[in-house]
A and B are shown apart, each in its own frame.
Chain A
Amino acid sequence: MLRAHEITVRYGRRTVLDRVSFDLPPGQVVGLGGPSGCGKSTLARVLAMMLRPAGGALSVDGAQVRGWRQRAPRELRTRVALLYQQPRLAVDPKLRLREIIAEPLAAMGRPDESRVGALAAEVGLTGDLLTRRPHEVSDGQLQRACLARALTLDPGYLICDEMTTMLDASTQAYLVAVVNAYRDRTGAGVLAISHDEVLLDRWADTRAELTGAGSPPGMPSPSPAPL
Chain B
Amino acid sequence: MTTELAQVKVRRKGVWAAAITLGVLALAVLVVPPIVQLDQQLVDLRSAGLAPSLAHPLGTDEMGRDVLLRSLYGLRVSFMVGLVAALVSMVIGGLIGLAAGSLGGLPDRLLMRVVDGFSALPHLLLGIFIVAMFAPSPYAVIVSVGVTHWTTAARIVRSEVLSLRERPFVEAAVSGGASRARVVRRHLLPHLAPHLLLATVLMVPHAIWHETALSFLGLGLPPHLASLGNMINDGQRSLLSGDWWSSFAPGLFILVPTLAVSVLTQHWRDRLNPRTRSELSL
Residues of A within 8 A of B (CB): 45, 48-50, 69-70, 74, 77-78, 80-82, 84, 86, 89-94, 103-104, 107-108, 146, 149, 152-153
Contact = CB atoms under 8 A, between A and B. Distances in A.
- Which 9 pairs of residues, A with B, have the shortest CB-CB distance? A104-B176, A107-B178, A90-B168, A107-B177, A78-B177, A89-B168, A92-B169, A74-B177, A108-B177
B279 interface: no
Interface string B181-202: 0110011001100000000000
Given A81-B175, A89-B167, 6 more contacts: A77-B175, A80-B175, A82-B171, A93-B169, A103-B176, A107-B173
A13 to B, nearest CB: 20
A92 B191 CA distance: 9
B180 A70 contact: yes
Contact of A152 (B176, B183, B186): B176
Nearest to A92: B169
A89 B177 contact: no
A74 B176 CA distance: 8
Interface residues of B, number: 19
Given A94-B190, A94-B191, A107-B182, A153 B177 contact: yes
Contacts, number: 64
Given A50-B171, A84-B168, A86-B168, A92 B187 contact: yes
B173 A92 contact: yes
Contacts of B171: 45, 50, 69, 82
Contacts of B180: 70
A149 B191 contact: no
A91 B176 contact: no
Contact of A70 (B168, B179, B186): B179
Contacts of B190: 94
A82 B175 contact: yes
10 contacts: A49-B175, A50-B174, A70-B174, A78-B176, A80-B175, A81-B175, A81-B176, A82-B171, A104-B177, A149-B172
A104 B186 CA distance: 12
Contact of A149 (B174, B176, B179, B182): B176
A48 B171 CA distance: 10
Contacts of A146: 172
A84 B180 CA distance: 21
A69 B174 contact: yes
